[in-house]
A and B are shown apart, each in its own frame.
Chain A
Amino acid sequence: MKALGRLPPQEGIAAMQTINVVVLNGWFFAAFFGTAAVCIVLTAYSVLNWNAPGTSYLLAASALYLVGVILVTMVFNVPLNNSLAAVAPDSAEGADLWARYLSVWTAWNHIRTLTPLVAAAAFVMALGRA
């Protein structure tokens, strides 16, 4: 986002609007929701088999992914993306939104970068158990 933030607002907005359209493809959805589906299954397994080895890691990792990636994206990033999609890149309203988008959207993006990284480490820890 630093690179887009260095562009004039209308160019940064137009670039991000395009990115937000192009990114919605089958590969992204498969990774994003496919991992979520697996996390739901692993959560159920962990709860139902709490004494099995590694289930505390599985539960923590699944919760981290579901909250830190899915919930954060749906509650914070997507609404900002929708707001950005609705503005004209060369408008004053667009420039105001862009300033907020750059700070707020990026802050939540940091969260959804860190949480799946920690989740991946916890999944590996679970694999190492037993």
Chain B
Amino acid sequence: MTNLPVAVLTLAAALGSGLLAGFFFAFSSS
């Protein structure tokens, strides 16, 4: 991705989404 600010935001969104998926998975699985 050539636009660095967008790349940083995209990485933050990926981390945030993954974090919440893991958080909600704890409720679904246990």
Contacts and interface: CB of A to CB of B under 8 A. Distances in A.
Interface in B1-30: 1-3, 6-7, 9-21, 23-25, 27-30
B2 A109 contact: no
Interface of B: 1-3, 6-7, 9-21, 23-25, 27-30
Nearest to B14: A123
Contact of A61 (B1, B17, B23): B17
Main SS at interface, chain A? helix
A62 B1 contact: no
Nearest to A30: B16
Nearest to A32: B20
Identify which of B3, B15, B16 gathers the most chain A CB atoms within 10 Å of its CB.
B16
A50 to B, nearest CB: 13
A59 B30 CA distance: 32
Interface of A: 1-3, 28, 31-32, 34-35, 38-39, 41-42, 45, 52-54, 58, 61-62, 65, 69, 106, 109-110, 112-114, 116-117, 119-120, 123-124, 126-127, 129-130
Contacts of A52: 3
A54 B14 contact: no
Contact of A38 (B7, B16, B21): B16
Nearest to B29: A2
Given A52-B3, A127-B7, A110 B13 contact: no
A35 B12 contact: yes
A61 B9 CA distance: 12
